[in-house]
Structure 1
Amino acid sequence: MKKQHVNILGINFINIRFEEMAEELAARVGNEQKAFVVTANPEIVMYADAHQRYKNILDSADYVVADGTGIVLASRLLNTPLKERVTGFDLTLSLLQKADQNNWSIYLLGGRPEVNAKAAENIKLTYPGLKLAGNRHGFFDWKDPAVVDDIRETKPDIVLVALGFPKQEQWISLYKDYFEKGIFIGVGGTIDILAGKAKRAPILWRKLNMEWLYRLLKQPSRWRRMLALPRFVVKVMKK
């Protein structure tokens, strides 16, 4: 069955519910297929709008899911409503849970050295049924073949890439064809939560669609990045 998409400022978001998306990726793993997943919020959409090469990368992805509440609200304003939000954090947890249940292998790439090491440790403790194929921090020379060779050798079922946007999508786009299989997904700051270095917004904040404000209050240094939100709203309203 052909998947439905919703176009928001030139980016095609798959119109799917969270559980359906999780099952689709699980099926890909079961069939040893590859998939490139982008979890896009308004900030990513605005960056793609200003950088054609990055937009081309998003266009090449197998799935672009609506990570931000702003994306879902924009789809309603455009009269092409998305079914629901599919967050990168929840998708990551779902993949880890399924890996735990099915003995799948995981590779964790990115983050600061101490964050990557702690996240890997916590993943092994929380999900003892999965295999940790390997882990590398995000401070490496992209021209050094060691990381690609390591992933090719270990053949993980899922590769969590936490280099932050746009680097994580750029890295996946550049190297995914080197691998036979694997779900490649950019997970950004999720690695900090997995490492216990940051906390997700409480459930009430999430239900009120105010998770972005919670993150801003916890990390005031994000205010420059948050400037993309009003520009995103204005651009959508013009549509």
Structure 2
Amino acid sequence: MKEVDLFGTKILCGKRDEFLNEIERRVEKKKKTFVVTMNASILLRAIEDEEYRTVIDSADLIVPDGSGVVWAIGFLTGNRTERLPGIEIMKCLCDRSRETGWRIYLLGSKEEIVRRAADSLKKAGVNVVGYHHGFFREEESERVVRDINERSTDLLFVGMGVPRQEKWVHAHLPRLKVKLAMGVGGSIDVISGKKKRAPKWVQRMNLEWLYRFFQSPVSKRKVPFQVLKFVFLVLREKLKK
């Protein structure tokens, strides 16, 4: 496992088991860790928005999530890497928490949905100590941070969408007494049963982004254009080399 530079951002490159082992190692050693799961949408926004790039670059670990990022790493740097989607990191850590006793907090989505996700994890033996919906004003953040801390949270999963989830973690991490904080996008919706993850054959074809687009064509209407723009930027970067 190593880091590679992609458009000025350092992204891990290696095997998925290496990524997971490093995340678990840091949690076990109680090293506060901010994880970003990098896909084309996040990287494109970081390229275009300096403030957001600062947020992303503050992460302790940036893991390749999307197939577009995996392709770009290979195309521009010659390195091969596996991808590790955020929802898989979340599920692996939740599974591991049954043995370790890690205390988990879910932050994001609507009240009913995040409650259903928490209940689903609890039924599976996961130690979910708290949850809160993602539709709160910034001035309410201190109350949310206090609730997370008072529950002695170890792992904080934030599903408030890009870029809000990463910005929120970055802004409040100094006061959060957690071992790990990570943006998980729509993973809370999937765990609650509200949405389904793409079938394995779609994942193998690297079309998971398209499956998510068809699930929510209105909210994700910009995604196809972002994909085309990302491909253009990668091809242009290649021509510079």
TM over 0.5: yes
Which residue of 1 is the match for residue 120 of structure 2?
Answer: 122
For 1:18, the aligned partner's letter is R
Contact residue 43 and residue 229 of structure 1 kept, 8 A = yes
Q: Which moved more, 1:86-95 or 1:143-152?
A: 143-152
Contact residue 155 and residue 182 of structure 1 kept, 8 A = no
For 2:137, the aligned partner's letter is D
Q: What residue ranges of structure 2 are gaps of 5+ in the alignment?
A: none
Give the counterpart of 1:209 among 197, 206, 210: 206
Measured against aligned partners, the alpha-carbon deviations of 1:131-171 in whole angstroms (never above 9, x if no partner) come to 21210000112222211111122221100001111010001
Measured against aligned partners, the alpha-carbon deviations of 1:68-88 in whole angstroms (never above 9, x if no partner) come to 000011111113324211111
* Aligned residues: CA RMSD: 1.3
Give the counterpart of 2:129 among 129, 133, 145: 133
Q: Which runs of 4+ in 1 moved over 6 A?
A: none
Name the TM-score, length of structure 2 as normaliser: 0.93
The structure showing larger relative contact order (alpha-carbon pairs under 8 Å, at least 6 residues apart) is 1
Q: What residue ranges of structure 1 are gaps of 5+ in the alignment?
A: none
Which residue of 1 is the match for residue 43 of structure 2?
Answer: 45
Residues in 1 aligned to 2:26 and 2:18: alpha-carbon distance in whole angstroms: 12
Residues in 1 aligned to 2:139 and 2:210: alpha-carbon distance in whole angstroms: 38
Is 1:113 matched up with 2:89?
Answer: no
For 1:149, the aligned partner's letter is R
Contact residue 72 and residue 81 of structure 1 kept, 8 A = no
TM-superposed CA distance for 1:8, in Å, is: 1.7
Residues in 1 aligned to 2:30 and 2:100: alpha-carbon distance in whole angstroms: 13
Residues in 2 aligned to 1:195 and 1:174: alpha-carbon distance in whole angstroms: 27
Residues in 1 aligned to 2:180 and 2:154: alpha-carbon distance in whole angstroms: 6
Residues in 1 aligned to 2:109 and 2:54: alpha-carbon distance in whole angstroms: 25
For 2:144, the aligned partner's letter is V
Residues in 1 aligned to 2:217 and 2:108: alpha-carbon distance in whole angstroms: 23
TM-superposed CA distance for 1:18, in Å, is: 1.3
- How many residues end up aligned between the 2 structures? 235
Residues in 2 aligned to 1:51 and 1:23: alpha-carbon distance in whole angstroms: 31
Give the counterpart of 2:179 among 172, 178, 182: 182
Which residue of 1 is the match for residue 147 of structure 2?
Answer: 150
Contact residue 33 and residue 181 of structure 1 kept, 8 A = no
